[in-house]
Amino acid sequence: MSLKKEIERYSNLNGYPTTSYEELNCDCGSKEFRLYSDDDEGGAFGICVTCNSEYDIENSREYIEEALNNVCNCDSELLSLAVGKAFYPESNESRWVYVGAHCGKCGLDGVYVDWKQSA
Ligand SMILES: [Zn+2]
Ligand SMILES: [Zn+2]
C-alpha cells in the first residue's frame, strides 16, 4: 500500500475521488514534517522537521481554530505528507482536500484530515 493508494481509497469511500496527488517537499530538501490540523474547521499545516519552515496546506491555515499535532499510531510525529484533491466537474476549483501522511518509522499510511472546500 502506498500513500497515494491510501488517499485514493479513502477519497473513493468519501464519494469525491481524488484526481490530483502532490507530495510535500521542503525547500531545504527535507520530506519530514510535523502535521498540525483542525478536523472540525478543516485545515492543516506542516512544519519541516529540519528547518522549521511552515507550509500552509491549500491556504487553510486561517480556518484553523485549534491546531492538533497529529501523531502516528506508533507515537512518531515525523511524517511525510501528501495532498490529494477532488475537483468540481470540468473545473479547476477543488471540491475536497485530503491530507495524508506516511510514517517513516512504522510505515503506516493514512488520511489524517480532509475537508470540503467552500466554493
Ligand atoms: Zn525544511
Ligand atoms: Zn508510525
pLDDT in tens, 24-77: 999 999 999 999 999 999 999 999 999 999 999 999 999 999 999 999 999 999
DSSP state of 39: T
> What are the residues whose beta carbon lies below 5 Å from ligand 2 (ion)?
72, 74, 76, 103, 105-106, 108
Which helix (H) or strand (E) covers residue 110, if one does?
A: strand 109-116
Q: How far apart are CA 4 and CA 62, in angstroms?
A: 26
Amino acid at 28: C
Cα of 104 from ligand 2 centre, angstroms? 7
Is residue 86 predicted with pLDDT exceeding 70?
Answer: yes
Q: State the pLDDT at residue 83.
A: 98
Cα of 55 from ligand 1 centre, angstroms? 10
Residue 93 sits at φ, ψ, to 5 deg, of -80, 120
